[in-house]
Amino acid sequence: DAVRKLYDHWNEYIKSPFCYFINNPQKQFTELGYEYQYQELAKLKEAIEGLVGATVSDKSLNESIRLHNDTKSLLKQVYDCRKQDPPRISGEEALEIVMGAMVLPKARANQLLRQLIDELKQPRQHPLVPGPRIMITGSIIDHPALIKMVEESGATVVADDLCTTTRYFWYPVKENKDPLAALARHTTEKPVCACMHPAEARLEYMLDLVKEYNVQGIIYFNLMYCDPFLYEGVLFKKKFEERVIPTIALETEHTPS
């Protein structure tokens, strides 16, 4: 609802030269959802071509997909360093690394990530202190204050499932001769958001993270009014605790304070 109204504000009050609303199906792993997403992406492509007065070619889209997939692969290599005990990077550092890779031009981001991976092979000047291995999840954290607070309390944040971290890079786009088909499949088959159905697919993805990073406890930082994650937190808490993974859900506001 907030996003829909934001679109109206951009049009009515800000008078943006280009504002386009794209719908995404909420039910995943269906052919109808895929076809719907494909048509939405085709309309978006057409709108952008009209704006810039140039054709968006399949070749350029495929090159961009490969470039972004490189970023995702490199971020996964960085996250491999968190599997150690203690990890080579902190949760606070991991958030800043991923958010930096999000906003930098991808060629530059990939260059810096390769440099970072080389640096992480060297002994850390001030090794992190081992603590309970925690995964932080929830809707979005775009400031390291909450993660820093957890780590200063003696825990080790070894994994995170957030819009600003793992969900951004965990699944690469499966390349296809038709790049719109590849992107439509990617959108309708990556089970990373609480607003998508079925919830079981997302639960399996989270359990894979728990196993891969040897997680001993989970903290849900649920952003106030982000209802899908608030509902999910209650349901998944039971599922995790059935597997003897202590879980706590904490409601937060969208401020570092």
Give pLDDT, residue 28. 94
Kindly report, residue by residue over 139-183, the tens digit of the pLDDT.
889 999 999 999 999 999 999 999 999 999 999 999 889 999 999
3-state helix, strand, coil in the chain (%, to 5): 55, 10, 35
- The pTM for the full model equals 0.93
Low-confidence ranges of the chain (pLDDT < 70): 1-3
Place of tokens 């968006």: 56
Give pLDDT, residue 254. 79
What are the structure tokens assigned to 133, written together? 């291995």
- Residue 159 has a CB neighbour count (10 Å cut-off) of 25
Kindly report, residue by residue over 119-150, the tens digit of the pLDDT.
999 989 899 999 999 999 998 899 999 999 99
Give pLDDT, residue 1. 66
Q: Whole-angstrom Cα distance, residue 131 to residue 216? A: 10
Q: Considering only CA atoms, which of 141, 50, 53, 42 is closest in space to residue 91?
A: 141
